[in-house]
Each structure stands twice: as structure tokens, then as C-alpha cells.
């Protein structure tokens, strides 16, 4: 079936009854259990949506859920679409386009990432301050209409998330997230290059959503769950099982942070 994002969005809106949402959240590898903390209104398996790209990665359930929490509607994406799965960029940003179509004021993008900086340890949560992707700029052509892509995320929202973590007694790190195309993990030499470039964590997602969102009126927050130490830093071979296992260990802390963020984000009056 030919990919048609507008038809996909129309199908989802019809299923959800054209509800308006306040915040949309993309849940990365192993982080999908957050959906259990909200009140579900309705859910759709992406496999039941005609033309929706199929997720092939363990830990990405492929489900879109309309929920409520503290009196506002939340749109949850359990799993995302990756470039390394063979999809082009228009499909990777589909959840972001869906969020925009529902009038979402905020987008929270989460991921599982490898720690690069010396202070990063498995189980840490890192607020994304900036992104790094010098080798992949050609992949992101057409994501935005602005002459200059605004990679750096909102300092006000970063400070808001850090203060929220402090108030909830959740220790948060902050730093730069490097994009790697994947699907293989980075080599030790690549990690040393990224470390010298000032990157704190690395992963295979999130940057397309951030760039696309920054060219819209939707405000974006990025949070990485450090699930492993990157190649050359870790003494063991990296596996996806390690990623999902660590994400499971921190899911309570992660869920508490997301709930606190949702509770305190300013609600739009429109």
C-alpha cells in the first residue's frame, strides 16, 4: 500500500473521535510501560492502521493510545519508526505529524541511549540539551522550512524538567545527544570521536522528531534513558537485551518523572 500520511492521520482521528490533546509522548525502547500509569480512553494497534509503517524492533509495541491524566488528554506512541529499519524520513516523523494534527502543544520524545560522558551510568535519565549529527545532515533534508535548523532545545523547558526532577527527588543529568544511523552499535573509535566532540550520549532515533518539531509551533522535550555504556567504554559486548533490561529497572523513576512533567506543564487556553 502506498504511504499517505494524511489518510493515516484521518483514520486515527476518526478512531479517536477527533479529540484534541495537550501533550504527545513518544516512548522509546523498553519504556512503553508508562502507558499503564495513565487512564486509557482508546488504543489502536499500528498494525490495524492501513498504510502505517510496521515496527520491527523488540521493545516497540506499535500502539497509539489516547489517555487522560490530571484532566488533560495525552497521546502516547508505544514505539517509533527508525531510519535503520529501511523507512525514509517522511515515515520516521509520522508520529510527530500525528501529534501536530491533534493540536498537541508539547511533544516529549524519549529514547534508550548509550552513555558516553564519564559521569553517565546505566539507569541515568538525561535531559537533551542539544543534538549532534554531522554525518547525517543529508538524511534530514526537507524536515524544516527554516534557513537554519535550531538544534539546541529550549533552555526554559530544559530548566523546567531539571527543576521538576529536583522537586521529585529524581536525579537527572543533562547533555548532548548524538545521532547514529544504526542498526549496528558504534565502534569504540566512533565513540571516542563523539566524546571529544562533547557528546554525552548516543542513540539511533529522536533527532528527526526534534528537528521537525522545532519548525512548528509545538514545543519539544527530549529525555534519554542511559541503558548501557557505549562501545569502548563498556567492558562487555553491547546487546539490545541489555538496553531493554536496564529500561525495565528504571521504569518507575522514568514514569514518576513523566507524570510530574505532565502535571506541571502549562495548559493551553485554546
Convert the pLDDT of each residue in 51-106 to its tens digit.
Answer: 999 876 655 568 999 999 998 999 999 978 888 888 888 899 999 999 999 999 99
Secondary structure (3-state) at 110? strand
Collect contacts of 252-257 with beta carbons under 8 A, ≥24 apart. 253/125, 253/170, 254/31, 254/34, 254/110, 254/125, 254/223, 254/225, 255/33, 255/34, 255/37, 256/168, 256/170, 257/125, 257/161, 257/164, 257/165, 257/168, 257/170, 257/172, 257/223
Most trustworthy range by pLDDT among 24-28, 29-33, 148-152: 24-28
Residue 239: pLDDT above 50?
yes
Collect contacts of 248-253 with beta carbons under 8 A, ≥24 apart. 248/30, 248/33, 249/123, 250/123, 250/125, 250/225, 251/30, 251/31, 251/33, 251/34, 253/125, 253/170
Helices (H), 102-239: 155-167, 188-196, 207-214
Domain spans in the chain, listed from the N-terminal domain onward: 5-264
More confident residue, 260 or 60: 260
Residue 9: pLDDT above 60?
yes
Q: How many other C-beta atoms can be found within 10 angstroms of the C-beta atom of residue 9?
A: 17
Q: Which CATH architecture has domain 5-264?
A: 3-Layer(aba) Sandwich (3.40)
What distance in Å separates the CA atoms of residue 215 and residue 199, rounded to the nearest whole number?
23
Dihedral angle over CA of 77, 79, 85, 86, nearest 10: -10
Amino acid at each position: 500500500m502506498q504511504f499517505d500520511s494524511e489518510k493515516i492521520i484521518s483514520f486515527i482521528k476518526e478512531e479517536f473521535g477527533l479529540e484534541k490533546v495537550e501533550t504527545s509522548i513518544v516512548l522509546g525502547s523498553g519504556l512503553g510501560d508508562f502507558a499503564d500509569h495513565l487512564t486509557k480512553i482508546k488504543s489502536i494497534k499500528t498494525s490495524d492502521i492501513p498504510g502505517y509503517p510496521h515496527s520491527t524492533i523488540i521493545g516497540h509495541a506499535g500502539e497509539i493510545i489516547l489517555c487522560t491524566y490530571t484532566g488533560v488528554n495525552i497521546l502516547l506512541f508505544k514505539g517509533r519508526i527508525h531510519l535503520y529499519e529501511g523507512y525514509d524520513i517522511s515515515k520516521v516523523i509520522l508520529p510527530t505529524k500525528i501529534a501536530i494534527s491533534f493540536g498537541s502543544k508539547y511533544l516529549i520524545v524519549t529514547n534508550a541511549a548509550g552513555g558516553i560522558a564519564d559521569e553517565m551510568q546505566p539507569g541515568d535519565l538525561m535531559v537533551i540539551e542539544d543534538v549532534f549529527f554531522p554525518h547525517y545532515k543529508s538524511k534530514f533534508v526537507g524536515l524544516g522550512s527554516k534557513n537554519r535548523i535550531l538544534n539546541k532545545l529550549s533552555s526554559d523547558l530544559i530548566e523546567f524538567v531539571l527543576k521538576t526532577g529536583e522537586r521529585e527527588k529524581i536525579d537527572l543529568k543533562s547533555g548532548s545527544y548524538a545521532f547514529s544511523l544504526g542498526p549496528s552499535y558504534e565502534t569504540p573509535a566512533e565513540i571516542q570521536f563523539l566524546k571529544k566532540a562533547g557528546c554525552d550520549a548516543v542513540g539511533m532515533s529522536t533527532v528527526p522528531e526534534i528537528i521537525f518539531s522545532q519548525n512548528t509551533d509545538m514545543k519539544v522535550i527530549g529525555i534519554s534513558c542511559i541503558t548501557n555504556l557505549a562501545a569502548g567504554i563498556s567492558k562487555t559486548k553491547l546487546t539490545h537485551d541489555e538496553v531493554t533490561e536496564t529500561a525495565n529497572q528504571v521504569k518507575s523513576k522514568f514514569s514518576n518523572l513523566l507524570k510530574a512533567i505532565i502535571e506541571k506543564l502549562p495548559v493551553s487556553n485554546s
